[in-house]
Amino acid sequence: MEYYIVDVFTEAVFSGNPAGVCLLESWLPDEILQNIAMENNLSETAFLVKRDSHYDLRWFTPELEVDLCGHATMGSAYVLFRFKDKNADILSLHTQSGVLAVERKGDMLLMNFPSRPAAPTHRFDSIGGALHIENYEVYKSADLLVVLDNEDAVKSVEPDFEALKRVKEEAGMPDDSFGVIITAPGSDCDFVSRFFAPNAGINEDPVTGRAHCVLIPYWSKRLGKTTMTARQLSKRGGSIYCEDVGDRVIIGGRAALYLTGEINIEEVR
């Protein structure tokens, strides 16, 4: 199996979010896909199978399959544009979240994703305790959105991840793939964020495309802008181009190739 690691939402390796990308001839059993993702031990590993005019795409964390992942989609598109579909400008990827298109414009990759606006909800006590914060607003979508006062407040959060796992029950989230997004206005960009998903085996994700499906409609409405720039304030960090286009969002960035290799499938069957 061809295997790649691509650092996404960055122009250089050792920053952004590393995504594993596996190219398959046909689908393997889910147990094997999950074990490969666990062995890779990245926040997500993408698996792709070529069809006549598109690719089927699935994403796995080290612990479970998720229904949407941005950085591993961009990493997959980077690999396909560079090694497989060199003359293409747009790729069609079929996923659990519908058809996702990725367009290449120079060295930028622009993903067309579903918009996931968040609705205001009450302040869960478990969030304040797990994040050690007092002044915040909470909104609910596929992920929880926690709005803080400023960038410094986002930077200074030190979560209790075991306590954060228990937010699921109080918030009534349906499965373990949800995350908790914290965000605030940015000092040198429109907004900043961080993303935590300990229930999915990811304490803090370096740069999170799916979180921006929630962040973009929120900040577009709040700022009165449709085009924005964002930064994710993890240790590795990353920059994201954001555009609100109604019921869809455009999430853009650059990527850098870190590794090409092979996974010995016969050894893991």
CA quadruple 225, 223, 98, 42: dihedral sign? positive
**Pairing mode, if any, of strands 45-50 and 55-60?**
antiparallel
Q: Which amino acid is at 226?
A: T
Query: Is residue 134 annotated as a catalytic residue, yes or no?
Result: no
Instruction: Indicate which residue of 44, 65, 151, 204 is catalytic.
Output: 44
Residues designated catalytic: 44
